[in-house]
Amino acid sequence: MPDRSSDDDYTEYVTARLHTLHRLAFLLCGDSHRADDLVQQTITNLYVHWSRASAASNLDAYVRTMLVRSFIDEKRRGWSRVRLFAETPQQSVDLARPGPNVEDRQLLRDALTRLPRRQQAVLVLRFLCDMSVAETAEALNCSEGNIKSQTSHGLAAIRRVLGPHTLALLAGGTR
């Protein structure tokens, strides 16, 4: 029998945080449909562990960690979530939607996705979510030294992939 008051608390919390979670998922994944899946998986897991999660001292950090770890280890997805239909679902790539800096975004996204997922997460959390080294270390359950080295390696790898485009990006655009 579901606990109605607990369910209400959960629903209220998730409703308020949905946009934030989706933004983080979008920054990690690079397209909104995959981000939707990641958020759906995270809030489902959150419900399963709600009694423990809701007792956490920093619930937002707890949930953010759940989402990031799900992103890093996609193998955690249950078989029941794997879709297999006769027709291949339409691919959805939001990176190509029109607007300024589309080319920059595409270049960067390509470079970022070549990194190990853990390094991707470190860069996204640190430079797009403005999280400190300590906060990132907590989210990824590793030492601050590890985060620092992952940051350096990740940036260096992106620089290598972008090559001459790096300077243009740093200057504010490629055009």
Partner 1 sequence: MTSAEDEYGQLLLRPLDTEPPPVSTVSIAKALADGRKLRRLRRIKMYCAGTATAVALVAAAGLVIAPHAPGRERSAAPGGLSVSGDASGTGSDAPGPVAAVPTSGPLPSSCTVLPLEIPGGYTTGEVLGADPTGRYAVGTAGATDPEVIFWDNGKGIRATVPGQDPELRDVNRNGVAVGTSRDDGGYHAWIYRDGRATELAGPNNATADNIGAGGAIIGHVYEANRYYPVFWQSPQEKARPLALPAGATNAVVRDVDDNGRMVGHVETKPWLWEPSGFGHELPLPKGVQSVSEMWIRGDWVSANDADSGLGIRWNLSTDEVITTEINSTRRRNSARPINAQGWMVANDREGRPFLTAPDQSPFRLPLLSSEAPSTSEYLNYAVELSDEGRTVYGNSYDKGLKAKAAVVWRCQ
Q: Which of residues 4-23 bind partner 1 (CB under 8 A)?
A: 7, 10-11, 14-15, 18-19, 22-23
Q: Does 79 participate in binding partner 1 (rule CB under 8 A)?
A: yes
- Which one of the spans 52-60, 61-69, 123-131, 136-144 is the region binding partner 1 (CB under 8 A)? 123-131
> Residue for token digits 């390696």?
153
> Residue for token digits 């369910």?
7
Sort 14 into a burial class: Cβ within 10 Å, 0-12 / 13-18 / 19+.
middle
Q: Which of residues 35-74 bind partner 1 (CB under 8 A)?
A: 35-36, 39-40, 43-48, 50
- Are 68 and 58 spatial neighbours (Cβ–Cβ below 8 Å)? no
Residue 159 is encoded by which pair of tokens? 């620089």
Rounded to the nearest angstrom, the gap between the alpha carbon of residue 47 and the centroid of all alpha carbons in its chain is 19
Question: What's the closest the beta carbon of residue 110 comes to partner 1, in angstroms?
Answer: 11
Could you tell me how many residues of this chain bind partner 1 (CB under 8 A)? Answer: 55
Residue 69 φ/ψ, nearest 5 degrees: -70, -35
What's the CA gap between 172 and 175, in Å, rounded? 9
Q: Which of 119, 110, 97, 105 is nearest to 169 (CA)?
A: 105
Judged by CB under 8 A, which of 63, 67, 68, 108 binds partner 1? 108
Question: What's the closest the beta carbon of residue 58 comes to partner 1, in angstroms?
Answer: 21
54 secondary structure, DSSP code: T
Question: What's the closest the beta carbon of residue 62 comes to partner 1, in angstroms?
Answer: 16
Binding site for partner 1 (CB under 8 A): 2, 7, 10-11, 14-15, 18-19, 22-23, 26-27, 32-33, 35-36, 39-40, 43-48, 50, 78-86, 94, 97, 101, 104-105, 108-109, 112, 123-124, 126-128, 151-152, 155, 158-159, 166, 169-170
